[in-house]
Amino acid sequence: MTSYRQPGLVLTDRHFTVPLDHADPSGERISLYGREVVSSSRSGADLPWLVYLEGGPGFGARRFPGKQAWLGRAVQEFRVLLLDQRGTGLSSPANRQTLPLRGGPEEQARYLSHFRADSIVRDCEAVRAQLTGGARWTVLGQSFGGFCATQYLSTAPEGLKAVLITGGLPSLDARAEDVYRAAYPRIQRKNDAHYARYPQDVERARRIAEHLASRRTVLPGGYVLTPEAFQSLGIQLGTGDGSHQLHYLLENAFVGAADGDELSDAFRQNVLAALSYAAHPLYAVLHEAIYAQGQAPTAWAAERVRSEFPQFDAEKALAGDGPLLFTGESVHPWHFEADPALRPLREAAEILAARTDWPALYDAERLAANEVPVAAAVYHDDMYVDTGHSLATARAIRGLRTWVTDEYEHDGVRASGSRVLDRLLALVRDEV
């Protein structure tokens, strides 16, 4: 273990090994990384543990420089573990560079099938046994981390002292297509709000899309920017400052050059940073698999359902006089053609999309008998997680208390400083 300091904090690098397949504990093992964080004034104290599960899938735990966002509140009373979920961060990586070591697409898909919430929860239990000496811990799950926390309540509640969920109460039984069928109307509302705030962006977005439709545009590193890929910048609209960030990106799109206006280098670089999956390929590869349960394949649900909402068709939008609508948190087959970080994973992704034997993730009966204190922040009209689905699940989990708010978007636990975490802790302790 290596320990080091930031202002007011002591951080310790921790490494663990766990089975790739927890059903085969004697088989292959992979590594996990977690960063322990404790207040420097309480580093020697016997503190309860809180494990943080990041959103995603496919993102490592957030790297905080000091007591930012909710972390400063957490270290007032907890020893915090920022866990890099399997395949992310400093845990054994799963990406275009490492997955060929598994073999061909079939072997890669088989390997990746062990990277959903059920395996992550089993990892947490293995880590908890080593860190806490068997004592229960508190889980804070953001977005997909909340999906994992719900799975935790379904399969290993004996390890939990309390569960705090922010923007991440999943439907217990919705199929991937149900998730996206509910999502597209929310995404349109976010578009409408953005264009109402920044009406000048209507023409800017159309002009960029028309430019992309008329000529092949390749970003640095080989990312092919099509009108559909440009639309996917709308994923930013679900965060507190996302609309503003999108506006500032669009305003600097063109520069006058020798052959006329062209997309500026600054715009190209900023778009690449926003769209590339190089740092989190599992987000794309597993995004629909996190909803899969039972025999129905996901079969590129977001792409199939998109055809039910023709207002999102870029070609039709450009042929008419309406605004170009941005899309949101959805992954499509063309992502695996546009993005060089995903191209080598296309066949494995196709195999996962066709799989028909995904195990169930949630146990409705066990959740109905839940005894673990649970509180969830549900963000009104959350672009990423359907509010109706979340509230139905809240009613299905015995004793769960909700805080429904429109003060924040999906990133409220980060944007609010300590307020969201404070509220959830008060709810699980019956202090409000």
SS3 93: strand
Rounded distance between C-alpha atoms, residue 367 and residue 369, angstroms: 5
The angle subtended at Cα 387 by Cα 116 and Cα 372, nearest 5°, is 60
Within 13 Å and on the Cβ side, how many CA atoms surround 168?
29
User: Annotated catalytic, 363?
Assistant: no
Which residues, in sequence order, are CB contacts of 14 under 8 Å at separation 6+? 1, 33, 34, 35, 36, 81, 131
Rounded distance between C-alpha atoms, residue 239 and residue 248, angstroms: 15
End-to-end CA gap in the chain: 40
Annotated catalytic residue within 154, 330, 410, 411? 410
- Cα dihedral 263, 264, 269, 275, rounded to 10, equals -30
User: Annotated catalytic, 39?
Assistant: no
Q: Is the dihedral of CA 38, 41, 43, 49 positive or negative?
A: negative
Cβ–Cβ under 8 Å, residues 177 and 195: no
SS3 247: helix
Which residues, in sequence order, are CB contacts of 285 under 8 Å at separation 6+? 58, 112, 342, 345, 348, 349, 352
Cβ–Cβ under 8 Å, residues 1 and 12: yes
> Do the strands 29-39 and 160-166 form a parallel or antiparallel pair, or are they unpaired?
unpaired
Annotated catalytic residue within 143, 171, 232, 330? 143
Q: Is the dihedral of CA 362, 368, 373, 374 positive or negative?
A: positive
Cβ–Cβ under 8 Å, residues 131 and 32: no
Q: Is the dihedral of CA 333, 335, 337, 340 positive or negative?
A: negative
SS3 per residue for 133-173: CCCCEEEEEECHHHHHHHHHHHHCHHHEEEEEEECCCCCCC
Main-chain dihedrals φ then ψ at residue 328, nearest 5 degrees: -125, -130
Residue 372 structure tokens: 């673990």
User: Annotated catalytic, 214?
Assistant: no
Which residues are catalytic, by number? 143, 357, 410
